[in-house]
Structure 1
């Protein structure tokens, strides 16, 4: 028994050896391609576009103001003789606050009271004289001229009585006005003078242009006067609910839009809004810095997890899964808060945008695998699963 050696041509032998070497290499290439394909399926989450009711607050800043503020000055020229209150005192309507020296007006009233008594006596005598003249005229003993004189004397006496009474009433009013009283319930917030200062009515207070004697504020109701940019005017109206935040006393108060100024400030392009606060305990002080939130009526929006939004401010986009591949879609969106955006165009309700740590790595056409930790997308989209064999 022997082995027969078979000789091959040199060219055929070379091809045989090369083919034998390529067979195992081809098998390795297929395995590497399969592994590479499996690695290309990047894991992502899916965030669903949902329809939500949104009531975004409109924010403004400003100052707390009293319900009423009045500067009180003398009503009668003279020396301020007594100030009965101090700054911080709570007062009631009609309570005496300060007094101008009234001795001169007391004397004037007494003098005019005597004038009235004298004029009254003269008027009574004139009336009696006219009555006698009228009686005698009826009997033919008094001429028409005499009767007319008696009538004129009576009318003149009555006129003098009327003038005396008017002068007395004026003096009595001036005497009464020497004491200035509180025009409403409030608190004394400022005192500009002390006793002994001469003040004229033209210097301050009632219709004057000076500083007055006292300042009184009504603060059982106060208002937050805030300025809101004009672009938000269409979002709220008188009666819209709101909330006032006072950082100075670390408190907040529910309120509403009570007054919406019709004038727009042409410099700041803002509008003045007033929100009242009940302040029975006087805890809220006029002048406090105030922040206000105004809540417009809720509207329906398409909301999306902000993490799914990619790109720059100028051009936003998201990725969705289509047949196991990432598909880029340009969108228009507006931020709602730190975690949500409002989708204005590009997506519809129920669409699922890809998000998660790997979202920033996505490119159009990349294979994806939805792992789904978003509560709105726990069930993976079957179409988003890659078909890798």
Structure 2
């Protein structure tokens, strides 16, 4: 009984002596299978593209509230909301009776002025002939020349008045300035309209929709990452597909209240499928940049207290890192690790902790 008791007491001591390194010697690696099983994940350096998200509204390429060009009663409106018109198509007309009369009056005034100019020219020629024979005085000659000049000026004024009257008559019919859709009809026939009114003088509204623009806003912190030509993908409520385009306009004005900047992204719309006013979501794709990337499973902690485990001589050690999420679910390492470094990830049910001996499983290195 005494020998057995002594042997059992000496056994742990012998084991301890066999596992302890001699002074000045490096500690031995943990025997295979004795450390916590772990895998390794390598910090890689690669190009990443971080999309910038913005929201906004679809706007027409052009929007025009079309009103009359001359004063008068709106006699007929030729279009309805939803109609498609081409450039030059008639939209509505103002009653033209008065304008036809004005053309008539101008024609008669032109004929009168022409007759007076012809008479003045004949009088000048006759007096000049008499003056050459010494019958008419120089003063008479000068008077006839002046009268002819006045008659010619009146003739020119009469021609201008006729051209203006004809233009006003032509302006009683208002035509579409460009190919567009009729999106609003403000009044009906019979309303007296005046061109000098500052507001409320529109008869119909036109929108040019063959090209529309997604007017979106993004936070001002992204200003340095976007510019004219930045690729973009746009999704529009009510339309089950995505539109690819690029930034055409970057507004120089920053909204000081929302701390945002405005971008305009053109979208071709030949069949007028996209309507002005629809809600739009844009994904901007700035140029790729180089980043240090690590699998999210290898990073522990929450908030500002993030850390990883690295192996130092076969022992897990905790190391603080600063990270930010990337769109693909991985993390960008901003501080704490370098490219090529390897981080421990547990294998099995045993959790990692600082000071634990670890054993890397064969071939278990993820890049």
- Length-normalised TM-score, structure 2: 0.90
Q: Provide the aligned C-alpha RMSD in A.
A: 2.5
Per-residue CA distance 1:110-161 (angstroms, 9 max, x = gap): 1111111111111111111111111221222210111112112212212222
Distance 2:178 2:346 in 1: 64
The match for 2:7 is 23
Pick from 121, 126, 143 the counterpart of residue 120 of structure 2.
Answer: 126
Pick from 204, 226, 230 the counterpart of residue 236 of structure 1.
Answer: 226
User: Is the 2:40–2:365 Cα contact (8 Å) retained in structure 1?
Assistant: no
The match for 2:279 is 289
The match for 1:66 is 60
Distance 1:165 1:219 in 2: 42
Per-residue CA distance 1:41-96 (angstroms, 9 max, x = gap): 22233211111111111111101111111100111111111111111111111111
Q: Indicate whether 1:149 and 2:133 are aligned.
A: no
Greater Rg by CA: 1
* Pairwise CA distance, 1:28: 7.7
* Pairwise CA distance, 1:25: 5.7
Instruction: Give the direction of change, closer, same or farther, for the CA distance of 1:353–1:195 in structure 2 (3 Å limit).
Output: same
User: Is the 1:321–1:327 Cα contact (8 Å) retained in structure 2?
Assistant: yes
* Pairwise CA distance, 1:40: 6.6
Per-residue CA distance 1:203-237 (angstroms, 9 max, x = gap): 4xxxx322511111111111111001110011121
Mark the runs of 5 or more structure 2 residues left unpaired by the alignment: 20-29
* Pairwise CA distance, 1:24: 3.1
Per-residue CA distance 1:304-340 (angstroms, 9 max, x = gap): 0011111121121101122222111111111113520
Distance 2:132 2:14 in 1: 149
Query: Is the partner of 1:56 in helix, strand or coil?
Result: coil
Q: Indicate whether 1:87 and 2:71 are aligned.
A: no
Distance 1:356 1:101 in 2: 88
User: Is the 2:346–2:352 Cα contact (8 Å) retained in structure 1?
Assistant: no
Comparing 117-126 with 333-342, greater Cα deviation is found at 333-342
Pick from 170, 192, 201 the counterpart of residue 195 of structure 2.
Answer: 201
Query: Is the partner of 1:128 in helix, strand or coil?
Result: helix
The match for 1:364 is 354
Instruction: Give the direction of change, closer, same or farther, for the CA distance of 1:301–1:119 in structure 2 (3 Å limit).
Output: same
Query: Is the partner of 1:24 in helix, strand or coil?
Result: helix
Pick from 292, 305, 316 the counterpart of residue 315 of structure 1.
Answer: 305
